């Protein structure tokens, strides 16, 4: 299972959209409910899921979900079934 596949249920829950398909190219501009509060909620939920602590420096230059996934994996997150 890929990192995106593992994170998709979190995105669906935070954005209250059971049909949301998360892609590497997706950004806040692509999701109707992606506002600043939901952005913070998403980060917190993903931190809890991955066990990672993310800093502002980690997050500031991310342009899309693919950048976010790459950053998580660079910090040591390994998707279930990988490796």
- Split the chain (83 residues) into runs of 10 and give each run's mean pLDDT: 96 98 97 96 97 95 96 93 59
Asked, for residue 79, whether it belongs to a domain, the answer is: no
Asked, for residue 70, whether it belongs to a domain, the answer is: yes
Q: What is the pLDDT of residue 81?
A: 66
Asked, for residue 34, whether it belongs to a domain, the answer is: yes
Domain encompassing residue 34 = 3-74
How far is 37 from 70, CA to CA, in rounded Å? 23
Q: Which residues contact 78 (CB under 8 A, 6 or more apart)?
A: none
In sequence order, which ranges of the chain are alpha helices (DSSP H)? 3-14, 36-50, 56-59, 65-74
Asked, for residue 82, whether it belongs to a domain, the answer is: no
Q: How many domains does the chain have?
A: 1
């Amino acid at each position: 299972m890929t990192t995106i596949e593992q994170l998709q249920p979190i995105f669906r829950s935070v954005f209250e959209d059971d049909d949301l398909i998360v892609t590497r190219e997706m950004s806040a501009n692509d999701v109707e409910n992606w506002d600043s509060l939901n952005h913070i909620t998403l980060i917190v939920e993903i931190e809890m899921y991955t066990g990672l602590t993310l800093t502002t420096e980690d997050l500031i230059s991310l342009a899309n979900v693919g950048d976010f996934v790459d950053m998580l994996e660079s910090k040591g997150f390994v998707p279930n079934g990988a490796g």
